[in-house]
Chains A and B, each alone.
Chain A
Amino acid sequence: MYIDKNVKIIDLGLYLEKQDLLIVGDIHLGYEESLNNRGILVPRFQYKETVEKMKKMLDNVKPKKILINGDLKHEFGSIMSYEWKNVLNFIDFLQERCQELIIIKGNHDVILEPITKKKGILLIPYYKIDEYFICHGDKIFEEIDSKVIIIGNEHPAISLSKDGRKELYKCFLKGRYKKKKLIIMPSFNMLTIGSDIFQEKRLSPYIPKDLSKFKVYVAEDKIYNFGEVKNIKNYVRRTV
């Protein structure tokens, strides 16, 4: 499904057709490890599932370039950590499947640089291509002249409720930021859904208070386009 002209939603990622670029973000590898380190002994399924999902997407679109829009790794503990292997393996896996791998530095990516350097990958604050400006979304860049901004960071989700039942879904959002188009991507993290955009404090400074003109695309087994927020106002509760 196209969320915009030339921009197609592939599962939890975005594919820019003309540019042959697949964007995914907020993978947060090693999330389980960080839980383990805090004494929550969650068994590890994340890496396996992430790779499987990624494979499926890549089989589907076979892009030339892959862009990771921030927060590849959840938290960096010891550099010797077993989880490091997973990150390296994941990068290897992606590099095998594309010609160019680009990684944008997210707010969690504190010490990612040694790896990217080792693998010959550029770690950049944002990526500009044609009319698209892609950044993680945790901070504002002045003088963006691109027409479309694509961000992650927010982990947007929406909770729909009916007859007392309530369920939370990952979603894409499309709206405007300073007269520019703004697309917010959900997280690629398998463990968490995200934060309810209508009920929790927003993280990204790109997101305006008023979301009523935003369009909602729920990403589950397929993409459900709900159109503008007003369509679902009977199914969501707002506090923010």
Chain B
Amino acid sequence: MITKKTEPNSEEEIFNVMHPLVKQWFKQKFQKFTPPQLYGLLEIHSRNNILVSASTGSGKSLTCFLSILNELVDSSEKGILEDRTYCVYISPLKALSNDIEVNLKEPLKEMEEIYGKKLGIRIGVRTGDTTTAERAKMAAKPPHILITTPESLGILLNTIKFKEHLRKVDWIAVDELHSLAENKRGVHLSLTLERLQQLSPGACRIGLSATVAPLETVAMYLVGNKDCIIVDAPFLKELDLKVISPVKDLIETTYDSMNKQTYELLDQLIQEHKTTIIFTNTRAGTERVVNHLKTKFPKNYSENIGAHHGSLSREHRLDLEQKMREGKLKVCVTSTSLELGIDIGYIDLVILLGSPKSVARAKQRCLPYDSRILLSDGTYKTIGEIVEHKLDVPIQSYDIKRKNFVKNKIIDYHKSISRQILNIKLHSGSLLRCTYEHPIMTQTGWKNASQLTEGEYVAEIFDLKNKSTLYLYEIIPKHKFYVENQDDFLRKIVDRYVQKKRCDYSGIAKRVGIHQNTLQNYMRKKGRRKSIRLDTFLKLMKICNVQKKQYLFYLQEIKSKSHHRKPLPLKFTKDLMWLAGVVASDGALTKSAYSSDIKIKIGNKDKRLLERCRRIYNEIGFYPKIRYDKKRKFYSLDCGAQFVVAIFSALGIKIGKGKSHNIEVSNILNKLPKDLIIPFIEGVLEGDGNKDINIRIFSSSKKFMLGIHNLLNRCGIHNYFVYQQAKTSKVIKKITSDEGYCLKIGRNKHVQEFLKYCTLYGKKAQFLKNKHYNKGPNEKDVDANISWTKILTITKENKKQQVYNITLKSEPNNYYAESLLMHNCGRAGHKLHDTIKGRIIVLDRDDLIENAVLSKHVVEHNIDRIHIPTNCLDVLAQQIYGIAISEQINIKELYALIKNSYCYQTLKWEEFLEVIDYLSGKYSTLEERHIYAKIWYDEETGMIGKRGKLARIIYMTNIGTIPDESFISVKIGDYIIGKIDENFLEKLKPGDIFVLGGNTYQFKHAKGMVAYVSTAIGRTPTVPSWVSDMLPLSFDLAMGIQKFRKLMEEKLKKYDKEEVLKFIQEYLYVDLNTAEAIFNYFYEQYKYLEIPHEKKILMEHYDEDKKKYVVFHALYGRKVNEVLSRAVAYAVSKTEKKDLEIGVNDNGFYLSFDKRINVTGVLNKIKSKDMDKIMALAIDKTEIIKRRFRHCATRALMILRTYKGQTKRVGRQQVSSMILLSAVRKISENFPILKETRREILEDLMDIENAKNVMKEIEDGKITIKEVHTNIPSPFAFNLVLQGKMDIMKADDKIEFLKRIHKDVMLKIKMKGG
């Protein structure tokens, strides 16, 4: 049974089963378990079959290794570690296994360091690259953890010596399961797993997979008919995905300019980032991009660019991977071999050339724009501002282990769109808004925001020891104040500078930005200008290289207009802060009615308080008077000191009316140390405080109260924030507004701490000073630098908005948002980003739509379903051969073993017997059987065994399911100019222009493995190679586009351009420019013809020269269209006796012929139930079967790639396979390998299932067919006709074809003669 695990284990549960050494190592290395680990570790520990689905970088591999290392370390320490393989770890790529070796050996080394001696745990990698010496060593002393590939494992199972080490395996782990499951390698592996399980019946299976759908099917693939637990822990990378076009207009651009601009764009993107990976879809494409970048930008790319693909040598690949880890590589271009998410290097940009054709899942761990991030100087900046302007500000991080604050640096900025934000309201009053996946520090460790519950405690900043000091002149508006020019200071300075540098005064004046005369005036001791403007003064000091301490003295004489005699303080003083606090609560800054001057007003009933204030003014040279309002029995003190006004407003006190509502705590205040902050709060307390029960401070400004709350926390003074309805509150009757906020310092310890820093000028502070009491809860909620605060409510906010995040340079990888500690997105430093910037470069308009819909699917987490091939007879033949080599086995037992695999669950006994017959050479005569039979099968006893001396070596050298890559040589005459991929050749038709090595060629014809071309200098290619090399569009994504087309048709009918544009932007999450491009494309189609969509297939007839075309607008992806097109062509050729040309792409297909023939209603004539029959006949009449037969015959070992020490070229294989195909057909049209070829074409290469579904919908009238005639192809048909892949549906056999041509020729000769 397949079950989903819905509850994670707790950390304690996991730690309980951990060996102390492993525990210690883990705690030193990590802060907490990742979700896959929380869900998976114990299951693996208990040896349950498990499928872990999570993204790369989520600690998936460690989930697997941690449990296993735990066991091995335990056994090692107890001295009971056996010489056998405990874990077989299968990874699909050679490159990947190298990476895992690094990731596994490192922890082991670190554990050994803690342990102080070697643990004796061996880790071995066995791939095709392993040398003979290494193999022998492994066979003698087996690795405890064996890392291998599916093929190498297949070989190991047939190695007499090594097989013995695999008899008691505990764990079989398969990495990147999703990538294996969907092809024949996976089918092969599924049987290998059963074979291994047979050897080690007790082994449990662990599958590690990226996000795929449906997980249940993948789990069944992993375990066959056993039980399995699924862990779906989408702890995912965020993908900041954008679709970009290299040119503005994808239609009116020549190939050359498109090419040029594509590379320029590539270069620009690469240069803007640290390390880039470019994915192309083919190896040829990979080489091409590297080559072009090198030749077009020789300065930028030389040693720092590399191509990575499977056919490169081992040294080359390892070297490249090493370079990436070390960050020496600027850009890596790859086809697919890196695609499986190797954690190498520091990659911050991924470029996809053309469309990736399948949805990658992405999630976000971000904050909205206005979330304030704590900087290391104690101040805040909103994350939006930091990211938008890429501010290089120091960030405050918190080292949880050492419990102290650490300064951190930002190294990257991220921005994306989120639809869902959580609002987390805290008991302390703070409100945090973040995405679901954002990790937040809780009392039980890091948790994703979505996992938080109400009532849980989260970490708030506490006791931040801020020591920075500020000079007052730094915070006042410098152009409004003047410095007194005393002691001829300026003249001395400037003269000395002029002498030293031998420059003239006018130069200095110019640099300061004043006239030379003005400068002279300043310098004159008793001239007109005795004082100089503060900003000019500072500029002058800077130019003349005067140290701060030399001129600080003069800054004591800063003035606005009025002159004063006493020196001003250079820095904040306790007195000033206290005064500011009083002003903040009981005062105001008001504008004078007559001038622009601002007055500081303080009003209170307590005269003594005002007197204290006046004294402070006096001390710095201001002399205001206290007035008394008899009516209100109220004292007031007004002061016009602009200097003080400037300072107070810098602290956050607002000018004008509504001060009490708008007041907030400014960043300047945040920067100050504790002994200045507390006098300020003391001042506030004197004004708006209450001394009766503990310390209480009130305000009607929430911002201000939260700021003070935060300030107190940062001073290490525990306090509560309370929201109060003023009218109902007993304690705050004074406040007249409806809403009020209150702060309470309740605990004696903290009250005392507060008083320690007070000035005690006011009577409230003095009152508290004299009161002694001992009460308050014990402080469980206060840790060294953390105050645990309760979550009050969590609410969801569904609104599309920009969200932001940053990457930090080093550990600890966290920061404070508002006052809360949260984990940062991504790993710090030189690791893979959690946010990867993805840039898809589109090369045509269909690409644009496709990618926009793809991005939508990514954002909305729609995942493509995978297709797992089943009952593959070729792979089956190979595996039975392997089994027969290693043992004699009864046929019934063998059948049962095979049926354990998910891929063969439905295998019929007859089909199985057909394969046995094939393998035992039953198709040949008895005397020739020794040549063909691979196994013997005794029908009486039912036993099967190997045959022939060479059997083992043949098996070992020919195992595998990946067909040989075939490159076609491209020749002009006898001269080879390059190579192209076999699949690319399949798409070329004579006359096509294509690009190779930067030049354009015209394809003439192909013979065997050679393509003959002629030069076509300067001509526009008809087959853009990037596009034609593409993977097929998935059916699910195709349906997404179909749906969008339908919506667009509705919108275009109903609304004007503006509204449609709005719709596109909202639906596809694209910007206006992209929306406009999409709109234009649809509008052209809409106006010219009409829009085909999910409920309507258009059949568009048009003529070109002598050729007639029928374009079927059937957007179902190429895999489905390959089927539909051939079924239709077959039906047409049946009645019309004509050869038809077929063009297929993701968006539809076309048929082409030279005479008008009747295709009307053809789609309605084909019945979905007849599709299997029709298609079996149809593909026999096409070219595809020849090539695919070679692949299948090679897998079934009918063609041996390596035989008697010689390896055949693909060309030879292909030529021979044609002979083989016709021979096999003479034996039976149902020969198992031929049958498998058809199945592979129809089910794996094409998608007959979905094609049948489409036909059914047509039958049921759910899809309507509409036929239209055009003079030139409609916009949607344009690309299809341009790039369509060619195949021919043959209407008759070879001799009929010859007769027709002969007749034609004879007729012509006769006409000439006559």
Q: Which residues of A contact B (CB under 8 A)?
A: 32, 35-45, 82, 160, 162-167, 169, 191-192, 196, 199-201, 218, 220-221, 224, 226-227, 231-232, 235, 237, 239
A to B CB contacts below 8 Å, 8 in the list? A39-B1199, A160-B1298, A169-B1294, A191-B1219, A192-B1219, A199-B1005, A224-B1302, A232-B1305
Q: In angstroms, how far is the closest chain B Cβ from the Cβ of A205?
A: 17
B1219 and A42 within 8 A (CB): yes
Q: In angstroms, how far is the closest chain B Cβ from the Cβ of A42?
A: 5
- Could you tell me which residues of chain B, from 1246 to 1301, have a CB within 8 Å of some CB in chain A? 1286, 1288, 1290, 1294-1295, 1297-1301
The residue that B1297 contacts in the complex, of A35, A164, A167, A192, with Cβ under 8 A, is A167
Instruction: Collect the chain B residues with CB atoms within 8 Å of residue A196's CB.
Output: 1007
Known: A165-B1290, A224-B1299, A237-B1004. 4 other contacts (CB 8 A): A45-B1226, A169-B1294, A227-B1309, A239-B1005
Instruction: Collect the chain B residues with CB atoms within 8 Å of residue A162's CB.
Output: 1139, 1297, 1300-1301
Q: In angstroms, how far is the closest chain B Cβ from the Cβ of A110?
A: 20
Instruction: Collect the chain A residues with CB atoms within 8 Å of residue B1217's CB.
Output: 40
B1294 and A41 within 8 A (CB): no
**Chain B 1148-1182 per-residue mask, 1 if CB under 8 angstroms from chain A, else 0:** 00000110000000000000000000000000000
* Residue of chain B at shortest CB distance from A235: B1301
Instruction: Collect the chain A residues with CB atoms within 8 Å of residue B1202's CB.
Output: 39
Instruction: Collect the chain B residues with CB atoms within 8 Å of residue A220's CB.
Output: 1294-1295, 1298
Instruction: Collect the chain A residues with CB atoms within 8 Å of residue B923's CB.
Output: 43
B1298 and A167 within 8 A (CB): yes
B1141 and A163 within 8 A (CB): yes
Instruction: Collect the chain B residues with CB atoms within 8 Å of residue A164's CB.
Output: 989-990, 1139, 1141, 1286, 1288
A43 and B1227 within 8 A (CB): yes
B1298 and A224 within 8 A (CB): yes
A235 CA / B1203 CA spacing, docked (Å): 40
* Residue of chain A at shortest CB distance from B1138: A163
Say if the beta carbon of B1023 comes within 8 Å of chain A: no
A199 and B1139 within 8 A (CB): no
B924 and A231 within 8 A (CB): no
A43 CA / B933 CA spacing, docked (Å): 11
The residue that A44 contacts in the complex, of B928, B1199, B1208, B1298, with Cβ under 8 A, is B928
Instruction: Collect the chain A residues with CB atoms within 8 Å of residue B1079's CB.
Output: none
Say if the beta carbon of B931 comes within 8 Å of chain A: yes
Say if the beta carbon of B672 comes within 8 Å of chain A: no
The residue that A42 contacts in the complex, of B1213, B1223, B1297, with Cβ under 8 A, is B1223
A1 CA / B1141 CA spacing, docked (Å): 35
Q: In angstroms, how far is the closest chain B Cβ from the Cβ of A196?
A: 7
**Chain B 1178-1214 per-residue mask, 1 if CB under 8 angstroms from chain A, else 0:** 0000000000000000000111111110101000110
A163 CA / B1202 CA spacing, docked (Å): 39
B1219 and A231 within 8 A (CB): no
Instruction: Collect the chain A residues with CB atoms within 8 Å of residue B927's CB.
Output: 82
Instruction: Collect the chain B residues with CB atoms within 8 Å of residue A227's CB.
Output: 1305, 1309
Given A43-B923, A232-B1305, A237-B1005, A163 and B1208 touching (CB < 8 A)?
A: no
The residue that A43 contacts in the complex, of B932, B974, B1197, with Cβ under 8 A, is B932
B924 and A44 within 8 A (CB): yes
Say if the beta carbon of B1308 comes within 8 Å of chain A: yes
Instruction: Collect the chain B residues with CB atoms within 8 Å of residue A45's CB.
Output: 1223, 1226
Say if the beta carbon of B1224 comes within 8 Å of chain A: yes
A40 and B1139 within 8 A (CB): no
The residue that B1295 contacts in the complex, of A41, A221, A239, with Cβ under 8 A, is A221
Given A165-B1290, A231-B1308, A43 and B1295 touching (CB < 8 A)?
A: no
Q: In angstroms, how far is the closest chain B Cβ from the Cβ of A186?
A: 14
B1288 and A169 within 8 A (CB): no
Given A39-B1202, A45-B1226, A160 and B1219 touching (CB < 8 A)?
A: no
5 closest Cβ pairs, A-B complex = A39-B1203, A39-B1200, A40-B1216, A165-B1288, A224-B1302
**Chain B 1063-1107 per-residue mask, 1 if CB under 8 angstroms from chain A, else 0:** 000000000000000000000000000000000000000000000
A165 CA / B1288 CA spacing, docked (Å): 6
A40 and B1298 within 8 A (CB): no
A41 and B1219 within 8 A (CB): no
B973 and A239 within 8 A (CB): yes
- Could you tell me which residues of chain B, from 1007 to 1054, have a CB within 8 Å of some CB in chain A? 1007, 1012
**Chain B 890-932 per-residue mask, 1 if CB under 8 angstroms from chain A, else 0:** 0000000000000000000000000000000001100110011
A163 and B1139 within 8 A (CB): yes
A162 CA / B990 CA spacing, docked (Å): 12
Q: In angstroms, how far is the closest chain B Cβ from the Cβ of A170?
A: 11
Instruction: Collect the chain A residues with CB atoms within 8 Å of residue B1219's CB.
Output: 35, 40, 42, 191-192
The residue that A199 contacts in the complex, of B1012, B1141, B1204, B1299, with Cβ under 8 A, is B1012
A37 CA / B1299 CA spacing, docked (Å): 38
Q: In angstroms, how far is the closest chain A Cβ from the Cβ of B133?
A: 28
Q: In angstroms, how far is the closest chain A Cβ from the Cβ of B1231?
A: 10
A43 CA / B1208 CA spacing, docked (Å): 19
Q: In angstroms, how far is the closest chain B Cβ from the Cβ of A215?
A: 12
A167 and B1294 within 8 A (CB): yes
Instruction: Collect the chain A residues with CB atoms within 8 Å of residue B1153's CB.
Output: 163
Instruction: Collect the chain B residues with CB atoms within 8 Å of residue A169's CB.
Output: 1294, 1298
Q: In angstroms, how far is the closest chain B Cβ from the Cβ of A130?
A: 32
A239 CA / B1288 CA spacing, docked (Å): 23
A163 and B1201 within 8 A (CB): no
Say if the beta carbon of B265 comes within 8 Å of chain A: no
Given A164-B1139, A199-B1005, A200-B1007, A42 and B1220 touching (CB < 8 A)?
A: yes
The residue that B1139 contacts in the complex, of A32, A37, A165, A201, with Cβ under 8 A, is A165
Instruction: Collect the chain B residues with CB atoms within 8 Å of residue A160's CB.
Output: 1297-1298, 1301
Instruction: Collect the chain B residues with CB atoms within 8 Å of residue A235's CB.
Output: 1301, 1305
Given A39-B1199, A43-B1227, A163-B1141, A226 and B1297 touching (CB < 8 A)?
A: no
Q: In angstroms, how far is the closest chain A Cβ from the Cβ of B976?
A: 14
Given A39-B1202, A163-B1153, A167-B1297, A226 and B1288 touching (CB < 8 A)?
A: no
A41 and B1198 within 8 A (CB): yes
A221 CA / B1295 CA spacing, docked (Å): 8
A239 and B1012 within 8 A (CB): yes
Instruction: Collect the chain A residues with CB atoms within 8 Å of residue B1204's CB.
Output: 37, 39
**Chain B 1218-1248 per-residue mask, 1 if CB under 8 angstroms from chain A, else 0:** 0110011011000000000000000000000
A232 CA / B1288 CA spacing, docked (Å): 21
B1223 and A226 within 8 A (CB): no
* Residue of chain A at shortest CB distance from B1303: A224
Q: In angstroms, how far is the closest chain A Cβ from the Cβ of B991?
A: 10
Instruction: Collect the chain B residues with CB atoms within 8 Å of residue A239's CB.
Output: 973, 1004-1005, 1012
Q: In angstroms, how far is the closest chain B Cβ from the Cβ of A127?
A: 31
A39 and B1301 within 8 A (CB): no
A165 and B1203 within 8 A (CB): no
Given A167-B1297, A237-B990, A43 and B1224 touching (CB < 8 A)?
A: yes
A235 CA / B1298 CA spacing, docked (Å): 11
* Residue of chain B at shortest CB distance from A35: B1216
A38 and B1297 within 8 A (CB): no
Instruction: Collect the chain B residues with CB atoms within 8 Å of residue A82's CB.
Output: 927-928
A229 CA / B1223 CA spacing, docked (Å): 33
* Residue of chain A at shortest CB distance from B957: A39
Q: In angstroms, how far is the closest chain B Cβ from the Cβ of A201?
A: 8
- Could you tell me which residues of chain B, from 1126 to 1153, have a CB within 8 Å of some CB in chain A? 1139, 1141, 1153
Instruction: Collect the chain B residues with CB atoms within 8 Å of residue A232's CB.
Output: 1301, 1305
* Residue of chain B at shortest CB distance from A163: B1139
B1298 and A39 within 8 A (CB): no
Instruction: Collect the chain A residues with CB atoms within 8 Å of residue B1005's CB.
Output: 166, 199, 237, 239
Q: In angstroms, how far is the closest chain B Cβ from the Cβ of A206?
A: 21
A200 CA / B1309 CA spacing, docked (Å): 27
Given A45-B1226, A232-B1305, A39 and B1295 touching (CB < 8 A)?
A: no
* Residue of chain A at shortest CB distance from B1013: A239
A218 CA / B1294 CA spacing, docked (Å): 12
A160 CA / B1216 CA spacing, docked (Å): 22
A45 CA / B924 CA spacing, docked (Å): 10
